[in-house]
Structure 1
């Protein structure tokens, strides 16, 4: 049993190469009936890289991936990064307009997309939109090695069979360094428009080598990745961490409790991170049987306030040895703080742990002065994990990272005397539903596209299953009854399901402050009174 190498290679493809050399026949990805060893993963990534080069892909071109968790997702990302291209991840719950917006603003030249998934034809959703930079779309099928993606790999192998093809790939790979952009993850903000977070190979490897060390991942681990690859939790804390540890990844395309139980029992899964709702759903399910889950030993969770009882249950009912909570955001490669093995249930449930090595976390007041322990203010972060900036948005970057290099998270909290981070409020008005970040301004903009809505304000409402769901306070554009269920159905057509408000409150006016800003605190009070 070994853990992460003490000296990591400088790039993600170089890490794959080192793993393929050290443990060529060890399974890296087990996806349904498809198993790829580290060597086979590298061979497929090289073939894809050769194909991209032949198609004119250049250093730091954007390559988008719009697909659920599957082996092709990982190969596409590694192949793109092998030639110095930048991976742009797309949320699988996006509607066509949302995906087209990210593709257009990122200038993505290549798109890898699932052909058909959960009765949705993803490429068809993009047909109404003009994507001027997109050169080609490669489609794939989950749990398959016979699709357009497979044909592209075969073309890539033919290209590599010539000396010219091998030389071109070697030359392109030689340009990739730790400072090369590895990915752009789009995250919405209070303006309602998604911003692309730019990070590089070196900082992601360093951050998640710390994650691997703190969680105690090793080469013997079987890691079930339920968190979506389009998010840093599934991508960086998922398959990238698996590769750093030299372990085996088991991607799951759709969360379904019976499927999770089957995967754990069939593959002796012992590592399973996820939001609190995942573990709550697992233990509450009628088919829950601890004996079927006896191999589980390690888990990380976060993304919401966690009941202390849940941590106790994860230890006692699930029999886990290691339960760790963590805090991060896209702007910090997805990781800032983690609890440590051996922390008690109170620390794990009520804090997000201490900063990872070589990262500074502080609490600032409104004037930018550092506060003492136990004093509440804005959480700020400085260190190697801070993003290089927002893609082609220097103004937003300057508003987020100050001149001293502190990244202002917008989250509110305090540090206790032991350095544990306590988060007391969310990023601006953001709330988290089922582990997904929901940004009210973005949802409000979409709601106001409905002809019956003149104004809208959204806040998070407590929900026993999802943690929080959207509650929309709306002003009608004209008198007359409006059916909430019809409105919810309309919302599901234009926005990702996790964004759809579950409650609507029709009001005459919104509470405003002196500058005309909606007082969300007043809306939360009204919500509390309505639920009382």
Structure 2
């Protein structure tokens, strides 16, 4: 009897990986496609060629050098999607600076932690977005800004920070983004040219925060080689050329926007198209129709919002052919509607994580509908995948186990955290994802659960321990457990069960109000229940599956 094949697959490919830094590759793209559309930002009225984008990137990079930033320094960016985000992404890469992505939904405590965790010397920030007053929050953290000269910040709570660069404003103590480009002198531009051959593609270039069971975000540290090649192979799978225009309504602070979006465009000369600062279904549909976009990105909830928009039928979307749906499982009916009603006949599904730059597996153009909705694809070029049991042995195909990935795409590690890095990446170089998966006879993987108790709400990863650690700070709360429950709109919503200290009283609204000004909106529990005790095992372990089931029954 033949033994079943093992759950191991390798994305064997005769396509070479790129051996460039992002800055060098940016210059190659500009030299080859300089007169082609490079960046379109609808809400800002911007339509630049690659050459016009390059002028602004080089000027801003020189400005960063002029204020004393040196290779290896960390520069935070705290902003919704806009042209300045893209300029900053490429300018920091050219100057050898490590760009630190900060979620636009972060509040004061999260910002303080992120900036200090990696020692940001500079922060590029929007003035405000939706309900977030960024400059107000920065001034709360660093009141010294108001009496500082730009570039001379010495804040007690942010000891590493030296410069704040403000998009769309010129508050005291900050550099105006547009003006900083004029700080660069010829000597600074020459310094950038001299730096180009010195920078290496294995240098870290990006830090993105991701949480874990400890509850405190960890800084996944990614190199030029990691993210440039991931963007390159995503574009190859999608058959991108310089004729494509890619509509990117997903956020830039996440790999979905800055790698799957921007770097896939960079490596193929395709146009980067932003429909707005944040996701809006109407603006997305308008942008696709107005600019004749050929590719569209989103998590499933975004596509549902677009398809269900009352004006959907009025838009000509015939220019679309491909795109990426990722972030959470795709319902089969949503994929059918996207193919039928949005002309997305070459739509693909991606799977990955921040620590893997991000894409490990992707469906391919021409795959059956069953593969598109029932799996997350097969390994990317030059990527290995295996599925293992709790003892680390590879399981037979079709059996469930933990998905692990290995290759150029695995991060360098968590910033200055060797212990957590060793927990995630084993001695053989395998990244342990914490996701439970199966692999079929064709090497296609399906995600069937999570080892880690993570909640995915509308494509946003929420780690219950992080929320619990935050709620424990409330003086009236004795104990708390958070978990996800199914939701038709967002996939999952967060629920908190809270045990109060003796004699204390709180309402559900009290808890939500406490969260709103301190943590990102998507982390605020949708449901709050007050309990006297929690279901536990005889050994004292919390049984969240029982809590979850009770909430499902209560909510019907």
1:137: which partner in 2? 164
Runs of 4+ in 1 over 6 A off after TM superposition: none
8 Å Cα contact 2:74-2:100 kept in structure 1: yes
SS in 2 for 1:47: helix
d(CA) in 2 for partners of 1:122, 1:481: 33
Residue 501 of structure 1, aligned match among 510, 525, 543: 525
Residue 120 of structure 2, aligned match among 96, 108, 116: 108
Alignment of 1:183-332 (within 5 A): 183-251=206-274, 252-289=276-313, 291-332=315-356
8 Å Cα contact 1:115-1:139 kept in structure 2: yes
Cα offset, 1:375, TM superposition = 0.9
List per-residue Cα deviations over 1:109-147 (Å, max 9, x = no partner). Answer: 0110001222532122123331100110000039xxxx9
- The answer to whether the aligner puts 1:468 opposite 2:492 as a matched pair is yes
1:43: which partner in 2? 55
2:41: which partner in 1? 31
2:107: which partner in 1? 95
Alignment of 1:46-57 (within 5 A): 46-57=58-69
List per-residue Cα deviations over 1:61-93 (Å, max 9, x = no partner). Answer: 111110111111111121111011111000000
2:200: which partner in 1? 177
Moved more, 505-514 or 389-398: 505-514
8 Å Cα contact 2:508-2:529 kept in structure 1: no
8 Å Cα contact 2:320-2:342 kept in structure 1: yes
Moved more, 306-315 or 518-527: 518-527
8 Å Cα contact 1:411-1:427 kept in structure 2: yes
d(CA) in 1 for partners of 2:548, 2:455: 12
Residue 360 of structure 1, aligned match among 370, 376, 384: 384
SS in 2 for 1:29: strand
Structure 1 residues 288 and 344, CA gap change in structure 2 (3 angstroms) = same
SS in 2 for 1:337: strand
8 Å Cα contact 1:9-1:15 kept in structure 2: no
Alignment root-mean-square deviation, CA: 1.8
d(CA) in 2 for partners of 1:22, 1:369: 47
Structure 1 residues 170 and 448, CA gap change in structure 2 (3 angstroms) = same
Unaligned runs of 5+ in 2: 1-14, 142-156, 170-174
Question: Under a length normalisation based on structure 1, what TM-score does the superposition of the two structures give?
Answer: 0.94
1:526: which partner in 2? 550
d(CA) in 2 for partners of 1:319, 1:166: 45
Structure 1 residues 127 and 212, CA gap change in structure 2 (3 angstroms) = same
8 Å Cα contact 1:185-1:330 kept in structure 2: yes
2:11: which partner in 1? none
Cα offset, 1:173, TM superposition = 2.4
Cα offset, 1:9, TM superposition = 5.3
- The answer to whether the aligner puts 1:79 opposite 2:107 as a matched pair is no
SS in 2 for 1:437: strand
List per-residue Cα deviations over 1:366-407 (Å, max 9, x = no partner). Answer: 111111101111111111111111100000011111111111
List per-residue Cα deviations over 1:29-58 (Å, max 9, x = no partner). Answer: 111312222112222222222222222211
SS in 1 for 2:467: helix
2:75: which partner in 1? 63
2:446: which partner in 1? 422
1:440: which partner in 2? 464
List per-residue Cα deviations over 1:160-180 (Å, max 9, x = no partner). Answer: 2xxx33332222222211111
List per-residue Cα deviations over 1:324-345 (Å, max 9, x = no partner). Answer: 1110001111110001111122
Moved more, 288-297 or 325-334: 288-297
8 Å Cα contact 2:33-2:242 kept in structure 1: no
d(CA) in 2 for partners of 1:460, 1:485: 19
Cα offset, 1:479, TM superposition = 4.5
8 Å Cα contact 2:322-2:347 kept in structure 1: yes
8 Å Cα contact 1:290-1:317 kept in structure 2: no
Residue 152 of structure 1, aligned match among 177, 180, 183: 180
Unaligned runs of 5+ in 1: none
d(CA) in 2 for partners of 1:46, 1:6: 28
For these two proteins, the number of residue pairs brought into alignment is 519
1:11: which partner in 2? 21
d(CA) in 1 for partners of 2:128, 2:140: 18
Moved more, 49-58 or 465-474: 49-58
List per-residue Cα deviations over 1:402-424 (Å, max 9, x = no partner). Answer: 11111111111111111111111
Cα offset, 1:515, TM superposition = 4.7
d(CA) in 2 for partners of 1:526, 1:119: 34
8 Å Cα contact 1:116-1:141 kept in structure 2: no
Moved more, 260-269 or 90-99: 260-269
Moved more, 130-139 or 419-428: 419-428
Alignment of 1:384-423 (within 5 A): 384-423=408-447
SS in 2 for 1:490: helix
Cα offset, 1:464, TM superposition = 1.4
List per-residue Cα deviations over 1:444-468 (Å, max 9, x = no partner). Answer: 1112222332111111111111111
Residue 478 of structure 1, aligned match among 484, 502, 517: 502
Moved more, 312-321 or 484-493: 484-493
d(CA) in 2 for partners of 1:87, 1:140: 16
